[in-house]
Structure 1
Amino acid sequence: MRIVPTTFDHPDVVKLNDLVQQEYAERYGGEGDVTPLDPAMFQPPNGLFLVAYDERDRPVATGGWRAMDENEENYRDGDAELKRMFVIREARRQGLSRRILALLEEDARQAGRIRMVLETGTMQPEAMALYESSGYAPAEKFGVYRDEPNSRCYAKPLR
Structure 2
Amino acid sequence: MNISFESPRQAEIVTLITLLDEYQVPLYPAESHHGIDMEALCQPNVLFAVARDRAGKALACGALVLNSEYGELKRMFTLPEQRGLGLARGVLTLLEEEGRRRGCSRFMLETGYLQPEAIAFYERCGYRKRGPFGDYSNDPNSIFMQK
TM-score (norm 1): 0.81
For residue 42 of structure 2, give the secondary structure of its aligned residue in structure 1. helix
**In the alignment, residue 102 of structure 2 is paired with which amino acid?**
A
Q: CA RMSD in A?
A: 2.1
CA distance in structure 2 between the aligned counterparts of 1:20 and 1:145, rounded to whole angstroms: 21
Equivalent pairs: percent with the same residue?
A: 37
2:114 is paired with a residue of what secondary structure? Answer: coil
Distance in 1 separating the partners of 2:9 and 2:134: 22
Look up the match of 2:89: 98
Per the alignment, residue 134 of structure 1 pairs with: 125
1:154 to 2:142 alignment: no
Following superposition, the deviation at residue 11 of structure 1 comes to 2.2
- Structure 2 unaligned runs (5+)? none
> In structure 2, do the counterparts of structure 1 residues 36 and 93 end up closer, same or farther at CA, with 3 Å as the change threshold?
closer
What SS does the aligned partner of 1:131 have? helix
Query: Which amino acid in the other structure matches residue 146 of structure 1?
Result: S
Deviates more, 1:47-56 or 1:127-136: 47-56
In structure 2, relative to structure 1, the CA distance for the partners of 1:100 and 1:35 (3 Å cut) is closer
Q: Which residue does the alignment assign to 2:48?
A: 49
Mark the runs of 5 or more structure 1 residues left unpaired by the alignment.
69-76
| Count of aligned residue pairs for this structure pair | 145
Residue 114 of structure 1 and its aligned partner are, at CA, apart by: 2.4
Match in the other structure for 1:111:
102
Name the structure 2 match of 1:39. 41
